[in-house]
């Protein structure tokens, strides 16, 4: 069993590992771009030498100029892309450092909250038995039980009256003439009508016996409403008795030293909330830069590299370049042949370097996708409150295996999330979760969520006494 904070720290370490891999990938891509720049510069120099050796000065100068222009445009395009990516990676590194600092500060604050909560829980466990044995608490418990029994009887009676009323009212409500007169308020001070309409309505009332039926129907509607009001008053009485009981428990806790702990807890929770806000701001900055980085990689893969190759290929395809090779092949000079062989070998090396760059771009995009997945799961970890001090993970080995598999690319972020979800569980409490009122163990989440103590009982509960008995309310007759 590991705590939520321990599991979160392992997740943070895995996220940092993915980002470190992404930085290494970016460095490798920059190195590949520098290698390409060197190879292209060397190729241009060799072509200049060949042009100078085999062609007249004017033609050589023109070809060399064309080559230089093409290579320089290609190099500038690659250099601009590399510079933009390097600048962006520097910003990302700074944002990641800021995010790690914010996460460390939040972790320290959450540890402080957990420490105080544990101290409060220990205090509650020690005070609970003593308070429950006191005369005041026992009397309060009896008052709560009585109020609950009265409320249960009132609630049962109100429910039964509502059901009975619905059944007995049906014949009245199925009579359209009766309901017409009822809806107009006939026979009451609310009735408004002219002489002619009043005359007709009186005839209809005589026909259906409205004057005799109206009080019965009114009673059918009135009694359930009164019983429901009484049940709500009984519910309020239960709440009041429970508040009195909670006050007794809280007084016992304060006497044992809970007040300064609660004050420390309030301050620590406020500090944790502020640390959460700073972490969210750091996350937002980093996510914005990450999105820009992903767009840059996509652009580099789809346009920049391809356009640079196209520029040079276009220059190479001109007849003047082909003429250089042809004339070199026609001569007996070993210098020409040596230059041609060097150019051909350089072209193969250049092609291999370009393929490596494409592979590096693909790897960088894959790492960016894994970074997105693990940070999505980290945000979900915070939202679900898995780092709360009242819970932990029973599948430590599975978590380690899943994180290792993710770093190797063997599993996806969704699978990692399922492993966390499958292993989380709350630990048993050392004290009744409701002892002392509602001062429960709230633990703010880092991504706008928040862990709320789900303990549903109130210390005192129904005392095992159950509901039942007479609620003391009389309707004045059978119903």
Q: Report how far residue 455's alpha carbon sits from residue 471's, in angstroms, rounded to the nearest whole number.
A: 29
Question: What is the structure's pLDDT at 120?
Answer: 87
Confidence of residue 231 (pLDDT cuts 50, 70, 90): very high
Domain boundary among 224, 255, 286: 255
In a 3-state reduction of DSSP, which class is residue 476?
A: coil
Residue 47 near residue 350 (C-beta atoms within 8 A): no
Q: Domain check: are 268 and 324 in the same one? A: yes
Confidence of residue 105 (pLDDT cuts 50, 70, 90): very high
If you compute the radius of gyration of the chain from its CA atoms, what whole number of angstroms results? 41
Q: Domain check: are 269 and 405 in the same one? A: yes
Residue 390 near residue 453 (C-beta atoms within 8 A): yes
Q: What is the mean pLDDT of residues 145-160?
A: 93
Question: What is the structure's pLDDT at 196?
Answer: 87
Q: Is residue 267 in a domain? A: yes
Q: Which of 226, 212, 170, 210 is nearest to 476 (CA)?
A: 226
Q: What is the mean pLDDT of residues 145-167?
A: 91
Question: What is the structure's pLDDT at 301?
Answer: 53
The fraction of the chain above a pLDDT of 90, given in percent, is 20
Between vectors from CA 105 to CA 102 and to CA 109, what angle results, nearest 5°?
A: 135
Residue 394 near residue 1 (C-beta atoms within 8 A): yes
Question: What is the structure's pLDDT at 124?
Answer: 86
* H or E stretch at 186: none
- For residue 308, pLDDT over 90 is answered with no
* Domain span at 201: 135-255
Minimum mean pLDDT range among 14-28, 143-157, 182-196, 453-467: 453-467
Domain boundary among 201, 230, 255: 255
Q: Domain check: are 182 and 251 in the same one? A: yes
Q: Report how far residue 26's alpha carbon sits from residue 434's, in angstroms, rounded to the nearest whole number.
A: 54
**Structural domain tally of the chain?**
2
Q: Is residue 448 in a domain? A: no
- For residue 48, pLDDT over 80 is answered with no
Q: Is 215 exposed, middle or buried (0-12, 13-18, 19+ CB in 10 A)?
A: exposed
Collect all residues with Cβ–Cβ distance below 8 Å to 53 and sequence separation of at least 6: 333, 335, 336, 339
Q: What is the mean pLDDT of residues 92-96?
A: 90
In a 3-state reduction of DSSP, which class is residue 87?
A: helix
Question: What is the structure's pLDDT at 57?
Answer: 42
**How crowded is residue 59: how many other Cβ atoms within 10 Å of its Cβ?**
14
Q: Is residue 443 in a domain? A: no
Q: Domain check: are 287 and 376 in the same one? A: yes
Question: What is the structure's pLDDT at 30?
Answer: 82
C-alpha to C-alpha distances, 126 to 256, 307, 400, 430, nearest whole angstrom: 9, 75, 37, 9
> Mean pLDDT, the chain, as a whole number?
78
Question: What is the structure's pLDDT at 330?
Answer: 60
Q: Domain check: are 78 and 93 in the same one? A: yes
- For residue 458, pLDDT over 70 is answered with no
Q: Domain check: are 243 and 263 in the same one? A: no
Q: Domain check: are 363 and 341 in the same one? A: yes
Question: What is the structure's pLDDT at 436?
Answer: 64
DSSP string, 130-181: HHHTSHHHHHHHHHHHHHHHHHHHHHHHHHHHHHHHHHHHHHHHT-HHHHHH
- For residue 276, pLDDT over 80 is answered with yes
Question: What is the structure's pLDDT at 238?
Answer: 94
Domain boundary among 255, 275, 302: 255
Q: Domain check: are 279 and 382 in the same one? A: yes
Between residues 257 and 333, the one the model is more confident about: 257
Q: Domain check: are 279 and 267 in the same one? A: yes
Q: Which of 231, 258, 293, 352 is nearest to 25 (CA)?
A: 293
Q: Is residue 439 in a domain? A: no
pLDDT digits 0-9 by tens, 327-375? 666 655 676 677 777 877 888 888 898 888 888 888 888 898 898 899 8
> What pairing do the DSSP bridges indicate for beta strands 2-3 and 391-393?
antiparallel
The fraction of the chain above a pLDDT of 70, given in percent, is 75
Q: Is residue 272 in a domain? A: yes
Q: Domain check: are 373 and 414 in the same one? A: yes
- For residue 292, pLDDT over 70 is answered with yes
Question: What is the structure's pLDDT at 437?
Answer: 56
Phi-psi region of 451 (alpha: psi -120 to 50; beta: other; left: phi over 0): beta
DSSP string, 401-460: HHHHHHHTTSS-HHHHHHHHHHHEEEPPPSS-TTTTSS----B--TTS--B-------TT
Confidence of residue 58 (pLDDT cuts 50, 70, 90): very low
Q: Is residue 459 in a domain? A: no
Q: Domain check: are 98 and 230 in the same one? A: no
Q: Is residue 401 in a domain? A: yes
Beta bridge partners of 392: 3, 425
Q: Domain check: are 183 and 86 in the same one? A: no
Q: Is residue 466 in a domain? A: no
């Amino acid at each position: 069993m590991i705590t939520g904070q321990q599991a979160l720290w392992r997740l943070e370490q895995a996220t940092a590992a993915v980002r470190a891999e992404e930085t290494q990938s970016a460095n490798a891509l920059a190195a590949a771009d520098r290698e390409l720049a060197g190879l292209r510069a060397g190729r241009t120099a060799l072509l200049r030498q060949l042009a100078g050796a085999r062609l007249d000065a004017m033609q050589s100068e023109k070809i060399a100029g064309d080559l230089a222009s093409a290579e320089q445009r290609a190099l500038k395009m690659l250099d601009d892309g590399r510079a933009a990516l390097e600048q962006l990676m520097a910003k990302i590194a700074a944002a990641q450092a800021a995010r790690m600092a914010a996460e460390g500060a939040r972790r320290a604050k959450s540890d402080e909250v957990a420490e105080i909560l544990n101290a409060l829980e220990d205090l509650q466990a020690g005070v609970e038995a003593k308070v429950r044995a006191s005369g005041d608490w026992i009397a309060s418990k009896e008052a709560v039980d009585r109020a609950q029994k009265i409320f249960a009887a009132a609630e049962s009676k109100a429910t039964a009256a509502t059901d009975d009323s619905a059944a007995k009212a049906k014949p009245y409500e199925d009579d359209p003439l009766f309901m017409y007169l009822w809806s107009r308020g006939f026979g009451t001070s609310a009735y408004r009508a002219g002489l002619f309409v009043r005359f007709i309505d009186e005839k209809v009332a005589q026909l259906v016996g409205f004057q005799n039926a109206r009080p019965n129907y009114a009673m059918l509607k009135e009694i359930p409403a009164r019983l429901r009001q009484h049940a709500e008053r009984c519910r309020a009485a239960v709440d009041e008795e429970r508040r009195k009981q909670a006050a007794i428990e809280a007084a016992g806790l304060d006497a044992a030293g809970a007040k300064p702990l609660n004050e420390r807890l309030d301050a620590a929770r406020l500090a944790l909330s502020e640390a959460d806000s700073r972490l969210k701001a750091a996350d937002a900055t980093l996510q914005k830069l990450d999105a820009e980085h992903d767009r840059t990689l996509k652009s580099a893969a789809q346009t920049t590299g391809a356009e640079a190759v196209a520029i040079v290929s276009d220059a190479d395809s001109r007849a003047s370049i082909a003429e250089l090779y042809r004339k070199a092949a026609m001569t007996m000079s070993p210098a020409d042949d040596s230059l041609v062989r060097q150019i051909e070998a350089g072209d193969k090396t250049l092609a291999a370097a370009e393929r490596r760059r494409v592979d590096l771009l693909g790897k960088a995009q894959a790492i960016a996708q894994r970074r997105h997945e693990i940070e999505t799961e980290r945000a979900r970890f915070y939202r679900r409150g898995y780092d709360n001090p009242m819970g932990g993970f029973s599948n430590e080995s599975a978590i380690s295996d899943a994180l290792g598999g993710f770093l190797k690319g063997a599993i996806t972020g969704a699978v990692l999330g399922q492993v966390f979800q499958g292993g989380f569980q709350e630990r048993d409490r050392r004290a009744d979760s409701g002892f002392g009122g509602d001062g429960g163990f709230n633990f703010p989440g880092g991504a706008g969520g928040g862990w709320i103590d789900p303990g549903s009982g109130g210390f005192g509960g129904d005392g095992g006494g159950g509901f039942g008995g007479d609620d003391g309310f009389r309707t004045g007759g059978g119903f």
